[in-house]
Amino acid sequence: MPYFKKYKVTIVGFDGALASAITGALDMFSFAGVSWQRFNQQPPEQRFSVSIASYQQRSFECTNRLQLQANEALEDVSATDILLIPTIGGSVEKTLQGNLMLIPHLVRLSQTGCDIASNCSGAFLLAKAGLLDGRVATTHWGYADLFGKMFPEVELRINQLITHSDNVYCAGGGMAFHNLCLMLIERYCGRDTANQVAKAHVIDVHRNHQSAYANLRLLKQHQQPQIIKIQEYIEDNYRDSLQVNELARMANTTARTLNRQFQQSVNMKPIQYIQSVRVEQAKRILESRQIPIQQLANEVGYEDSASFAKLFKKQTGLTPVQYRTKFHRDFDF
């Protein structure tokens, strides 16, 4: 007789999904209470019953051409504890348009009170269903601009790896489903079980920001040449003492107007862009060189290493030392 109640997890399957976000989550939930126990010669006790549900129980093709067969029809699911929306692996717009039949069922199941969670670009499906309206959410940092334009009513917090609003959870990057699943496992089964799963699957559980992985080049995907000119000037001169008033004079405008135009085009003010460029350069240095933090701060335009370290952690979620430990590589050519 099982001691624990099995919780039901329903993973939504659809054409254009990222296979690993489905199969990986399926494995993590399925082996909660099993793998660690087997490794330690303890009786296994499966904690979750996991099912893949697609529209009309159709088989579906993931973006790596893997064909998956659903266990049940989504329209037949009347109740579940967790409804998980995996990553959209292909074109977001095309995948949304091709899977509109899922939307009514996402809305219907949300009304049952279950926990709803999306990974990465899966948040677009939740937003399309209106389930993120007025809520905080996150998605992959590369989709921030598109998401903001499509769903301005959602409070997007792109730096966060996981957001939580009422019973709705969103995770950022494609492999962030590890963190999302662990958080949900802890919610239902407690910290010990979540830690066991993390150890059994050898997962790093100490990441809570995705900004450490972001790329500033994506912030030039606008059509404002004057702003791009200022961005490139900042990137070439980030070590110097840059003042917004001076940048505004270069653009033949006022500081107030430049702040407004930058916010509209880049989604941040010039001073924030300067900080981001400096942090980005610091990340590159930490990935390739071993230098003292004070020297690092000086090389990217800061005299006060404490202020620099505080800014670095705010932007990346890691201290400079933690970032170096995590990302530094010794290249031997």
- pLDDT, one tens digit per residue, over 291-314 is 999 999 999 999 999 999 999 998
pLDDT value of residue 83: 97
How many CB atoms are located within 10 Å of the residue 145 CB? 17
Q: With contact defined as beta carbons under 8 Å apart, do 38 and 58 qualify?
A: no
pLDDT value of residue 146: 93
- pLDDT tens track for 31-62: 998 887 888 888 888 899 999 999 999 999 99
Question: Does residue 3 carry a pLDDT above 50?
Answer: no
Alpha-carbon gap, residue 205 to 183, rounded angstroms: 9
| Residue-range domains of the chain with CATH | 7-211 (3.40.50.880), 215-327 (1.10.10.60)
C-alpha closest to that of 191 among 54, 83, 32:
32
Paired tokens of 144: 């921030």
| Of the listed ranges 76-85, 136-145, 202-211, 298-307, the one predicted with least confidence | 202-211
Alpha-carbon gap, residue 304 to 279, rounded angstroms: 14
Q: With contact defined as beta carbons under 8 Å apart, do 59 and 18 qualify?
A: no
> DSSP string of 174-206?
GGGHHHHHHHHHHHHH-HHHHHHHHHHTT----
Q: With contact defined as beta carbons under 8 Å apart, do 59 and 69 qualify?
A: yes
Binned at pLDDT 50, 70 and 90, residue 159 comes out as: confident
Alpha-carbon gap, residue 8 to 5, rounded angstroms: 10
Question: Does residue 182 carry a pLDDT above 50?
Answer: yes
Tell me the pLDDT of the chain averaged across its residues. Answer: 88
Alpha-carbon gap, residue 224 to 88, rounded angstroms: 30
Paired tokens of 281: 């350069």
Q: Which amino acid is at 94?
A: K
Mean pLDDT of all residues in 216-235 = 78
Binned at pLDDT 50, 70 and 90, residue 203 comes out as: confident
- pLDDT tens track for 94-145: 999 999 999 999 999 999 999 999 999 999 999 999 999 999 999 998 898 9
pLDDT value of residue 174: 65
Q: Which amino acid is at 79?
A: A
